[in-house]
Chains A and B, each alone.
Chain A
Amino acid sequence: MSERSERPGQLGAGNPSPLWEVFVRARRGLSHTHVGSLHAPDAELALRNARDLYTRRQEGVSIWVVPAGAITASSPDEKDAFFDPAADKVYRHPTFYEVPDGVAHL
């Protein structure tokens, strides 16, 4: 249902019904969340099918469909290096800074 962008041939000629990834936003104010994927010949049908498949029980108010081939995923092999939260850059966190006693609203 995700991380599959490396697989060739999901979109394009020869595949009558390419794969689409589906994102649903549950309510206003929340972000779209990946809920799954489906096959459909074009974006309009993907949207309709996603409506039927993933929002039968009031799961959402907004749907995005994206051709799976358009997604590039990071590789788990590079997890450490790629997502290094920069332990050496602790100054990125507000808690790094000492606030003098008595300062309000900071």
Chain B
Amino acid sequence: MYGNDFSAPDDAPGGGLLGEVEAAEAALREAAARARRGGPAPGEDLAAYFTEVIDADQKIEPRDWMPEAYRKTLIRQIAQHAHSEIIGMQPEGNWISRAPSLKRKAILLAKVQDEAGHGLYLYAAAETLGISRDELVELLLGGRQKYSSIFNYPTLTWADVGAIGWLVDGAAIVNQVPLCRCSYGPYARAMIRVCKEESFHQRQGYEILHTLAHGTPGQKAMAQDAIDRWWYPSLAMFGPPDGDSTHSAQSMAWKIKRFSNDELRQRFVDMCVQQAEILGLTLPDPDLRWNDERQAYDYTQPDYDELMQVIKGNGPCNRQRMEHRRAAHAEGAWVREAAAAYAAKRAEQKEKVAA
């Protein structure tokens, strides 16, 4: 449906974004089958070999040689992606105890459990680059690595849970589907797994909003209010405009990123307009209209100064999120110690029996 990067996405099983994920998975298997020649010959230029692998659309694997900057940028990106999944449990977790029905509550619990899982897949992928999860968690807690700006916004009503599913997870999917074809194998494989699950999140969010929008006037107003508040922060999730994006050019050359921030943002807007129509709700942008020439929607850009403020730590909930994460880590220390002591004791007993 979107993008020239995907082979026959219309015919792909599932269609739409899920179809693209499956196409990416198929391409991954294909690339594996299309065996490239073995490792670099002794004395061969490693950088040239690396470029050759990337150009051939093959995957870089953990023990392959890679430029130090490639390794560093991947660690940064994957780790911050992992942190986002973990911090992202908070805004939705805020509504678990107050979900309006048992069914909604069970679904929300499953969703938040998925987010934890996504965090773990991603930490595992980052670890293949030679850094430990404990180090990454320290970087997060020390404020030296970021997480997605979006999770610094508060969830004020139940409808926000729907808006997060539809808009925030929707934006995440649009961003992550091309990452299923990222040149780094472990990241690409993690993204395939994540996207399949993320699709459930997006659809359940859409369903929440659809139910509210077709409920009482009060419910509909609540749904509209949530969209009004989440629309621009969701657009900002794609990052600064192409002109100001520091890492973009190099990441595209290395095939870590496949599309620019603005391209993905446009793709997201084009998707949402039609979906909002079916909800019977409006996107809060008076200048949103179809541009026949561009075959895309014109829209108002999000406030990038606000984005920069949020990234710097001055968003509405930055402090609360970090305090909560730090408290959980500190207060859980004795539990981790207990588990380690128990494991050590068990290992000792086993040794004695074996002796």
Query: Which positions in A face B, CB cutoff 8 Å?
Result: 1-4, 6-7, 13, 16-17, 19, 36-39, 41-42, 45, 52-53, 56-57, 73, 75-81, 83
B98 CB within 8 Å of chain A = no
| Number of residue pairs spanning A and B whose beta carbons lie under 8 angstroms apart | 78
Which of B4-12, B120-128, B317-325 is the interface stretch? B120-128
Contact present for A80 and B39 (CB under 8 Å):
yes
Question: B residues within 8 A CB of A36?
Answer: 121, 124, 190, 193
B29 CB within 8 Å of chain A = no
Given contacts A45-B339, A75-B63, A77-B40, contact A7 B124 (CB under 8 A): no
Contact present for A19 and B339 (CB under 8 Å):
no
Contact present for A53 and B127 (CB under 8 Å):
no
Question: A residues within 8 A CB of B110?
Answer: 56
Contact present for A4 and B62 (CB under 8 Å):
yes
* B40, B62, B130 interface centre (most CB from chain A within 10 Å): B62
Contact present for A1 and B38 (CB under 8 Å):
no
Give 5 A-B contacts (CB < 8 Å), ordered by A residue.
Answer: A4-B127, A37-B124, A45-B339, A76-B63, A77-B39
| Chain B residue at smallest Cβ distance from A74 | B63
Residue total for B at the interface (Cβ-Cβ under 8 A)? 35
| Chain B residue at smallest Cβ distance from A5 | B63
Shortest CB–CB separation between residue A80 and chain B, in angstroms?
3
Question: B residues within 8 A CB of A16?
Answer: 336-337, 339-340
Contact present for B339 and A78 (CB under 8 Å):
no
Question: A residues within 8 A CB of B197?
Answer: 57
Given contacts A4-B127, A45-B339, contact A53 B38 (CB under 8 A): no
Contact present for B127 and A2 (CB under 8 Å):
no
Shortest CB–CB separation between residue B59 and chain A, in angstroms?
12
Please tell me which one of the listed residues A1, A41, A56, A80 contacts residue B343 in the complex, with CB atoms under 8 A apart: A41
Question: B residues within 8 A CB of A80?
Answer: 37-39
* A2, A13, A57 interface centre (most CB from chain B within 10 Å): A2
Complex Cα distance, B347 from A2, in Å, reads 25
| Chain B residue at smallest Cβ distance from A39 | B133
Contact present for A52 and B63 (CB under 8 Å):
no
Question: B residues within 8 A CB of A19?
Answer: 127
Question: B residues within 8 A CB of A1?
Answer: 124-125, 128, 186, 189-190
B64 CB within 8 Å of chain A = yes
Complex Cα distance, B348 from A42, in Å, reads 12
Question: B residues within 8 A CB of A6?
Answer: 63
Question: A residues within 8 A CB of B38?
Answer: 76, 79-81, 83
Contact present for B113 and A17 (CB under 8 Å):
no
Known: A1-B190, A41-B336, A53-B117. 11 other contacts (CB 8 A): A1-B124, A2-B186, A37-B124, A42-B339, A56-B117, A76-B38, A76-B61, A76-B63, A78-B39, A79-B38, A80-B37
B70 CB within 8 Å of chain A = no
Question: B residues within 8 A CB of A45?
Answer: 339, 343
Question: B residues within 8 A CB of A75?
Answer: 39, 63
Question: A residues within 8 A CB of B189?
Answer: 1
Complex Cα distance, B337 from A7, in Å, reads 23
Shortest CB–CB separation between residue A63 and chain B, in angstroms?
15
| Chain A residue at smallest Cβ distance from B133 | A39
Question: A residues within 8 A CB of B290?
Answer: none
Question: A residues within 8 A CB of B121?
Answer: 36, 53
Shortest CB–CB separation between residue B134 and chain A, in angstroms?
8
Contact present for A3 and B61 (CB under 8 Å):
yes
| Chain A residue at smallest Cβ distance from B37 | A80
Q: B190-239: which have CB < 8 Å to A?
A: 190, 193, 197
Shortest CB–CB separation between residue A26 and chain B, in angstroms?
14
Across the A-B interface, the 8 shortest Cβ-Cβ residue pairs: A80-B38, A79-B38, A16-B340, A42-B343, A41-B339, A41-B343, A79-B39, A76-B39
